[in-house]
Each structure stands twice: as structure tokens, then as C-alpha cells.
Structure 1
Amino acid sequence: MTTTSTTSTTSDPTMEAIGAAVAEGQAGEAEAARRKLLDLWSAIGVTGDPLHRCTLAHHLADLHEDPAQALAWDVRALDAADAVTEQRLKEHHAGLHIAAFYPSLHLNLADGYRRLGSFDAAAEHIDAARGHTPDLPRDAYGDFLRTAVEQVAEAITRRDTTRRPSAPGPTA
């Protein structure tokens, strides 16, 4: 899910603030990025714009080293995605489709459950991620996610709970 790195159709200060915080986290300032995203979450609220909630929760999960904390945010991201409409997404960026969010969202859930040793739940979400991979673009991002889905699937089969080197976010 890369909604913060695409060109917007309209100006959206909340998405811009999420993008800035994500960039800060990617630059190694995970704690500062987490604080900013948590402040934004408080402002958005649990009933706020589903696109804002989905994007923020998805990226905030990546900023947690603890897989349980990350998983809580990944669940919030998937719940919010279910409420995002195609119309709302088109208002943000004409080229995006909500279906393309689901491979990444389910991948993250599968990886989180796997890291916690909940292999049955992990397998359900990796199957869901695989089911949505046809919705991914045929580009470097889509290839990255398809590879990650297979890596997590293999780790589930091995009952491996170690963090994968290609996982986003801070390293423990």
C-alpha cells in the first residue's frame, strides 16, 4: 500500500502529514514518527475518514518492533480498508484501487500472526494475500509484495517466528 507516495488528485493535509511522518520513520526517526502518527490518530478518531485511518494504521504498524503492537495496528488498517470506498480513493488519487491494498494488508497480518506463533491465523491471511495478488500492479512494488507473500508463506510452513530481513520498519 503506497498511498502516501503517489500524486494526489486533491490536496489532503492529513495524507500529507501521514506521508511526512512515514518519511521521517524511514529516515531512522521511528520514535518521532510514531508520536506524530499517534497524534494524527487522536485527531482523526476511530470513526474518521477510513482512508486516513487505513493509511495511518498500516504505516504505524511498520514502526513497531513488537509484533503484538504491530499486529494491533495491522488489524485497524484492514478494518479501515473495508470502509474505504472507490470514490473516496479516487478523490485522493485517480489511479488507485482499494483492491490493490489488500495483498499488503493481509501480508502484514500473516507476518504478524506468524511472528507471534499463531500459524493457523497466519495461514488464513497469507491465503487471503495470495488471493489478492492479481490486484497488484506489474511493477517493482507488485513484485516486491509477491515475493514477500511467498517468503512469509514459506516461513509459516517452517513454523519460523523470526523477523524477516525484508520486513518494513525498525529492526530490533
Structure 2
Amino acid sequence: MTRIGQAVMLLHGGDREEARNRFGVLWAEIGECGGALHRCTLAHYMADTQDDPEDELAWDLRALASAQGLTGSGATGAGTAPGAGARGDEGASGGTGASCGTCVSCGTGVSDGAGCSGGAAVRGGTGVPGGEGDAEHRDAHAVRAFLPSLHLALAADYFRLRRFEAARTHLDRGWEALGTLDDDGYGDGVRTALGRLERRMRGSGAGR
């Protein structure tokens, strides 16, 4: 997760090509059988480095598939969880997350209810006692909070590709998944981004 965070810092600093290269190396190392939280986070940010909208969509779909594989969720997931920063044109990229996690940019442990002082996203959990089962539960908990951002990113992808029905579906699922978020800076950022895309989508349809 530290190495993913280093690549995210490059991405946020404007070096998309180097970030894409590092994400590619990490993806090859993680492989198809890698941890779902790592795959989900990596694919979610890898999407931001793509020049082709279809490639961006493909990576966002990989991120959602990884999330659903871990949580067993269908459209939205449930429960509350540590936050993960939204990304993409419609997201709140670099927003603060919350609770029981590690900042992907600086590696700082973040306690419950607090965002990283650097304003970066929070992914996963650290410093929580327990065995492998606890770690898997914690990862699933983290990924559930990722779902609103994942659906938001997919809705934005489909909207750019003028696939309005699919965009509408994922935007609705993003709204439905908001119950996983707290009323904090990160949650507010995701809600704002969903509302922004909602306004852009009003009246969108075939031929319009």
C-alpha cells in the first residue's frame, strides 16, 4: 500500500506517465490472485492515468469487480467503513478519508474519525490487532466505503462515452451506497461530486 501511495503522489503531482508505469509494475506483481483491497485501490487510481476513455472505463470496472469480490456486494454494499478518496473528473480527488486506515500518500496511520493531515485519501486498516480473519474483515470494511466513489467514477466514464443508461445506473448506485460514509469531509466531497454529475446528467439521453 505504501508503494501504491507513492505512485498516487506522483499522479496528484501531475506526473501521470510515471504514475502509470509504477501502477503497471505493481499490477503485474499483485496479479489476478492479489489482495482485493490492493487490486481495487490500484485499479481505481490506474484509471486516472489513462488517455483513452475506454481504457479508463476498463480499469474502473476492474476496481469495482475487485471490491465486489471482497465484500460479496452487488450494487452497493452496506455498513460503515474507513473512507477512500473519490477520484476522476467527477470525484473529490485527494479528499480526506476516515478511520482505522493508512494514508496512501504519506503512510500515516489515521485513527477513527480523523482524516490525514496531508488531505490525502485513506485506504485499508493498520494497527488493528487480530489474525487473518480480522484483516480480511477490515479490508472488506474499507472497500465498502470505496463503493460510492467507484460507482461515481464509472458513471462519469459512461457519461463521457455517451452511454447514458449505464451512467444513470452507476450514479444511482453511488447515491444508494452513501450509507457507508460518515458525515465528514470525505463523505461531503463524494456527495458534492455525485450532485455535480447528477446536474450534468439531467436531460441526458439518446441523441441529446
Q: TM-score, normalised by structure 2?
A: 0.64
Q: Is the 8 A contact 2:67 2:144 kept in 1?
A: no
In structure 1, what is the Cα distance between the partners aligned to 2:25 and 2:62? 16
Percent identity between the aligned chains? Answer: 42
- The residue that corresponds to 1:31 in the other structure is 17
Question: Of the candidates 162, 166, 171, which is equivalent to residue 126 of structure 1?
Answer: 171
Stretch deviating more after TM superposition (59-68 or 110-119): 59-68
Q: Is the 8 A contact 2:43 2:59 kept in 1?
A: yes
- The residue that corresponds to 1:3 in the other structure is none
Post-superposition CA distance 1:72-131 (Å, at most 9, x none): 110000000012257426269xxx533211100000000000000000000000000000
Q: Is the 8 A contact 1:41 1:53 kept in 2?
A: yes
- The residue that corresponds to 2:37 in the other structure is 51
- The residue that corresponds to 1:90 in the other structure is 138
Change (3 A) 1:91 1:134: closer
Q: Is the 8 A contact 1:51 1:89 kept in 2?
A: no
In structure 1, what is the Cα distance between the partners aligned to 2:57 and 2:203? 20
Residue 59 of structure 1: how far off its partner (Å): 0.8
Determine if the alignment matches structure 1 residue 104 to structure 2 residue 149: yes
Question: Of the candidates 152, 156, 167, which is equivalent to residue 201 of structure 2?
Answer: 156
Determine if the alignment matches structure 1 residue 66 to structure 2 residue 52: yes
Q: Is the 8 A contact 2:37 2:139 kept in 1?
A: no
Q: TM-score, normalised by structure 1?
A: 0.77
Q: Is the 8 A contact 1:61 1:70 kept in 2?
A: yes
For structure 1, the residue ranges without an aligned partner over 5 or more in a row are 1-14, 161-172
In structure 2, what is the Cα distance between the partners aligned to 1:103 and 1:146? 9
- The residue that corresponds to 1:79 in the other structure is 65
For structure 2, the residue ranges without an aligned partner over 5 or more in a row are 72-133
In structure 2, what is the Cα distance between the partners aligned to 1:65 and 1:154? 25
Post-superposition CA distance 1:24-65 (Å, at most 9, x none): 111111100000001110111122111111010001112224
In structure 2, what is the Cα distance between the partners aligned to 1:129 and 1:57? 18
In structure 2, what is the Cα distance between the partners aligned to 1:148 and 1:89? 28
Which protein is richer in helix relative to its size? Answer: 1
Q: Is the 8 A contact 2:37 2:143 kept in 1?
A: no
Determine if the alignment matches structure 1 residue 139 to structure 2 residue 184: yes
Which amino acid letter does the alignment assign opposite residue 41 of structure 1? W
In structure 2, what is the Cα distance between the partners aligned to 1:108 and 1:141? 15
Change (3 A) 1:25 1:123: same
Which amino acid letter does the alignment assign opposite residue 113 of structure 1? Y
- The residue that corresponds to 1:6 in the other structure is none
